Amino acid sequence: MIDAGGHVLFFALAAAASPLTLTATLVVLRSRHPRTNGIAFLSGFLFGTTIACGLGLVIGQAAVDRLDSHETVEEVLTLLLGAALLVAGLRARHAPPRPQSQGGRANAILTGLGNVRPAAAFSMAGLLGFGGPKRLVLTFLAMASVSDGGLGDVADLTLVVVYVAVATVLVSVPVGIVIVAGERAAGLLARGHSWLTGHETWLRVWLSAGIGVALLVDGLVRLVR
How far is the C-alpha of 36 from the C-alpha of 168, rounded, in Å?
18
Our count of domains for the chain comes to: 1
Could you list the residue range(s) of the whole structural domain that residue 46 is in?
2-224
pLDDT of residue 155: 87
The reported pTM is 0.86
Which residue numbers in the chain have pLDDT < 50? 100-103
Report the C-alpha gap between 70 and 99 in whole angstroms.
Answer: 43
Specify the pLDDT at position 145: 87
Give the CA distances from residue 223 to residues 49, 78, 215, in Å, rounded to whole numbers and listed in that order: 28, 10, 12
> How confident is the model at residue 188, as a pLDDT?
84
The predicted pLDDT at position 67 comes to 63
The pLDDT value recorded for residue 9 is 93
Judge contact between 84 and 206, C-beta under 8 A: no
Residue 205 CB partners (closer than 8 Å, separation 6+):
89, 90, 92, 93
